[in-house]
């Protein structure tokens, strides 16, 4: 009898431990928030399922009508990250994307949801790929202080835009009409357009100079936009940011500076 | 005290020696009679004509070539041999895991083409990626079983990468130069080869056994054959692909 109860106790304890281990993998941590995948699932089925689909593979009912296509969470490759190309995003990266939405895509800002709800969604989105249980996110990119923009910095940025072949996709004037633009596809083979820098000062992964700097380091995984992490120095990346700012005709950030010859 | 130490040192040395000798013996006995499989991959029918590639969008690519660049997806030699076919053991080895070789594989971007066009590596083997061109490339593999990454690489920038899981084969492209396409085959065992210009391949130093051999070609798919090799045997195995 005592043996039997001991066995039951042991089984109960191991179930509890297993529950906790599995539970941790299904959590998200954003600041003080702890997201819960079970609650996230209910929210996902209400708000996200139409585009991202029941299985998180980006094949929801509305997906056919969207360009670019909704993210396939089973691949665990995310555009907006603070981690190096080819590594998992931080929970806070996914949280920021849900909060911000993605400009020039079907992904709206989900700021109307509670912060806790957004954290719960992050936890659930992570359950679609086993990668989140097998790997750790990469080390977040360090962003050094921004040097003040200057005509010289913009000029150097303009030269880098040429030598780094940014123009091949984004075009000589940044209109997204470079010679390689028509050939571009996302990693699932769907056609994808390079960003038109003249369209305004709003970008996919955030609008600050620091966001732009970070995008240059990380690249946008799942798209043709590569990482310039080893290809450029920190100063060169700031030069590129300053130059790209000048391409926007609606630049209100106070960065507009005249470059000779432009 | 000292004598006790020397006894200890002697016994450790003896142990190390015996392990080393034993180790050498076992490898020697396997090396005494390694099997091998070699053969030819053939293309049946009229080979398709390579298509010309227009590289004029990047003058730095254009000036690297005196004759026009052509597609490399089906390369057939004068005697009908098919190049760039990955031939590998897909089944028959025990579940043992193989350590990747120390020597890194090399993938070069030269004349705005990948050299080699098809590279075969072992999982977790380092791949030394080189840009010998004056222009800037981005190297962008789109794997299914491995993680995708995408790095800009100007001339001379060092870049070392690897893939953790078996995948035949990971497509590699340069988004800046859309004609640039290559493949990296990632194998979990060291018994693989890529057919040369004449279509020849050989799998060496095989342990005797019954194997499933798969040949993979980027456009023509896969062809599978079974073969048994005894100790010291050298067998011939040919593959034929058609369009």
Structure tokens at B11: 């016994």
Give the residue on A whose Cα is nearest the Cα of B156. A231
Structure tokens at B105: 């594989």
- Top CATH class, A26-134: mainly alpha
Residue B9: which pLDDT band, with cuts at 50, 70 and 90? Answer: low
Residue A2: which pLDDT band, with cuts at 50, 70 and 90? Answer: low
Average pLDDT of the segment spanning A60-86:
95
Give the residue on B whose Cα is nearest the Cα of A164. B136
Q: From CA A199, how far away is CA A104, in angstroms rounded?
A: 10
pLDDT for the residue B33 = 82
pLDDT at A83 over 90: yes
CATH architecture of B35-242: Sandwich (2.60)
Residue numbers in B near A222 (CB within 8 A): 148
Rg over CA atoms, chain B: 22
What is the distance in angstroms between the Cα of B166 and the nearest Cα belonging to chain A?
16
Give the residue on B whose Cα is nearest the Cα of A189. B142
The answer to whether B165 touches B145, Cβ cutoff 8 Å, is yes
A151 near B CB under 8 A: no
> Is domain A151-247 annotated with CATH 1.10.760.10?
yes
Nearest to A226 among B57, B58, B150 (CB): B150
Own/partner pairs for B200-204, CB < 8 Å, 24+ apart? B200/B38, B200/B39, B200/B40, B200/B81, B201/B38, B201/B39, B201/B40, B201/B41, B201/B85, B201/B87, B202/B36, B202/B37, B202/B38, B202/B39, B203/B36, B203/B37, B203/B38, B203/B87, B203/B88, B203/B89, B204/B34, B204/B36
Asked whether the beta carbons of residue A226 and residue B138 sit closer than 8 angstroms, the reply is: yes
A169 near B CB under 8 A: yes
- The least confident of A98-102, A196-200, B108-112, B173-177 is A196-200
What is the distance in angstroms between the Cα of B144 and the nearest Cα belonging to chain A?
8
Element (H, E) at A125: helix A115-125
pLDDT at A3 over 90: no
Residue B97: which pLDDT band, with cuts at 50, 70 and 90? Answer: confident
Residue A220: which pLDDT band, with cuts at 50, 70 and 90? Answer: very high
Closest CA to B107 of B64, B63, B139, B136: B139
The answer to whether A157 touches A232, Cβ cutoff 8 Å, is no
Q: From CA B184, how far away is CA B176, in angstroms rounded?
A: 19
Closest CA to B118 of B176, B50, B195: B195
pLDDT for the residue A262 = 40
Average pLDDT of the segment spanning A147-155:
95
Residue numbers in A near B152 (CB within 8 A): 164, 219, 226-228, 231-232
Asked whether the beta carbons of residue A168 and residue B176 sit closer than 8 angstroms, the reply is: yes
pLDDT, tens digit, 9 for 90 and up, residues B200-229: 999 999 999 999 999 999 999 999 999 999
Q: From CA A123, how far away is CA A91, in angstroms rounded?
A: 8
What three-state secondary structure class fits B210?
strand
- Domain residue ranges in chain A: 26-134, 151-247
Average pLDDT of the segment spanning A213-224:
97
Q: Do domains A26-134 and A151-247 have the same CATH topology?
A: yes
A162 phi and psi angles, rounded to 5 deg: -80, -55
B157 near A CB under 8 A: yes
Asked whether the beta carbons of residue B176 and residue A86 sit closer than 8 angstroms, the reply is: no
- The least confident of A20-24, A160-164, A203-207, B128-132 is A20-24
B138 near A CB under 8 A: yes
B145 near A CB under 8 A: no
β-pair type (B209-217, B221-229)? antiparallel
Q: From CA A123, how far away is CA A95, in angstroms rounded?
A: 10
A–B interface: beta-carbon pairs under 8 A: 80
Nearest to B150 among A85, A165, A183 (CB): A85
A104 near B CB under 8 A: no
What three-state secondary structure class fits B85?
coil
Would you call B69 exposed, middle or buried from its count of C-beta atoms within 10 A (0-12, 13-18, 19+)? buried
Q: From CA B169, how far away is CA A11, in angstroms rounded?
A: 45
pLDDT at A233 over 90: yes
Residue numbers in B near A75 (CB within 8 A): 148
Asked whether the beta carbons of residue B177 and residue A168 sit closer than 8 angstroms, the reply is: yes
Residue numbers in B near A183 (CB within 8 A): 175, 178
> Virtual CA dihedral for A39, A80, B173, B162, nearest 10 degrees?
-70
What is the distance in angstroms between the Cα of A224 and the nearest Cα belonging to chain B?
6
Asked whether the beta carbons of residue A224 and residue B58 sit closer than 8 angstroms, the reply is: no
Structure tokens at A145: 């202080």
Greatest pairwise CA separation for chain A in angstroms: 92
pLDDT at A215 over 80: yes
pLDDT at A36 over 80: yes
Nearest to B140 among A131, A180, A226 (CB): A226
Closest CA to A122 of A97, A152, A148: A97
Among left, alpha and beta (phi > 0; psi -120 to 50; other), residue B59 is: alpha
The answer to whether B42 touches B81, Cβ cutoff 8 Å, is yes
Give the residue on A whose Cα is nearest the Cα of B147. A86
Q: From CA B134, how far away is CA B58, in angstroms rounded?
A: 11
ipTM of the complex: 0.83
**Which residues does residue B47 pair with via DSSP β-bridges, in sequence order?**
none
B167 phi and psi angles, rounded to 5 deg: -160, 120
Tell me the helices (H) and strands (E) count for chain B, helix number first: 2, 19
Which residues 6+ apart lie within 8 Å of B64 measured at CB? B110, B111, B112, B133
B128 near A CB under 8 A: no
Please list, residue by residue across B21-42, b when 16 or more beta carbons sit within 10 angstroms of its beta carbon and e when fewer do. eeeeeeeeeeeeebbbbbbbbb
- Domain residue ranges in chain B: 1-32, 35-242
């Amino acid at each position: 009898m005592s043996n039997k109860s001991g066995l039951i106790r042991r089984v109960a304890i191991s179930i509890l431990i297993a529950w906790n281990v599995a539970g941790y993998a299904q959590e998200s941590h954003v600041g003080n928030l702890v997201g819960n995948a079970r609650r996230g699932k209910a929210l996902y089925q209400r708000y996200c399922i139409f585009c991202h689909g029941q299985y998180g593979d980006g094949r929801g009912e509305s997906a056919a009508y969207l360009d670019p296509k909704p993210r396939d969470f089973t691949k665990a490759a995310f555009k907006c990250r603070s981690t190096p190309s080819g590594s998992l995003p931080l929970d806070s990266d996914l949280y920021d994307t849900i909060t911000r939405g993605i400009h020039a895509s079907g992904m709206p800002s989900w700021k109307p949801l509670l912060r806790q709800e957004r954290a719960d969604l992050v936890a659930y989105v992570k359950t679609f790929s086993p990668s989140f249980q097998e790997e750790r996110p990469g080390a977040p990119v360090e962003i050094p202080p921004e040097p003040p923009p200057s005509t010289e910095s913009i000029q150097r940025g303009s030269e880098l835009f040429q030598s780094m072949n940014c123009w091949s996709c984004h075009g000589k004037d940044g209109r997204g009409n470079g010679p390689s633009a028509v050939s571009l596809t996302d990693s699932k083979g769907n056609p994808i357009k390079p960003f038109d820098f003249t369209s305004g000062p709003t970008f996919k992964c955030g609008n600050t100079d620091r966001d732009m700097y970070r995008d240059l380091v990380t690249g946008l995984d799942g798209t043709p936009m590569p990482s310039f992490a080893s290809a450029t120095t920190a100063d060169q990346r700031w030069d590129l940011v300053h130059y790209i700012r000048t391409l926007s005709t609606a630049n209100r950030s106070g960065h507009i500076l005249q470059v000779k010859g432009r | 005290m000292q004598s006790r130490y020397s006894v200890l040192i002697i016994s450790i040395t003896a142990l190390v020696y015996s392990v080393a000798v034993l180790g050498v013996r076992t490898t020697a006995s396997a090396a005494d009679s390694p099997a091998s499989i070699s053969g030819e991959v053939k293309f049946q029918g009229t080979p398709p004509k390579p298509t010309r590639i227009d590289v004029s969008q990047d003058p730095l690519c254009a000036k690297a070539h005196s004759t026009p660049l052509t597609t490399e997806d089906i390369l057939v030699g004068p005697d009908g041999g098919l190049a760039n076919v990955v031939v590998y053991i897909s089944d028959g080895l025990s579940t043992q895991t193989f350590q990747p070789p120390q020597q890194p594989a090399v993938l070069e971007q030269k004349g705005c083409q990948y050299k080699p066009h098809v590279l075969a590596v072992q999982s977790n083997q380092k791949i030394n990626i080189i840009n010998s061109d004056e222009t800037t490339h981005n190297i962008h593999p789109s794997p299914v079983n491995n993680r995708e990454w995408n790095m800009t690489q100007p001339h001379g920038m060092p870049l070392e990468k690897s893939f953790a899981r078996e995948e035949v084969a990971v497509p590699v492209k340069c988004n800046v130069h859309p004609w640039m396409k290559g493949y990296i085959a990632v194998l979990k065992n060291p018994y693989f080869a890529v057919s040369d210009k004449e279509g020849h391949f050989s799998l060496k130093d095989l342990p005797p056994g019954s194997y499933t051999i798969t040949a993979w070609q980027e456009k023509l798919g896969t062809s599978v054959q079974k073969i048994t090799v005894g100790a010291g045997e050298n067998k011939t195995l040919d593959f034929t692909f058609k369009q």
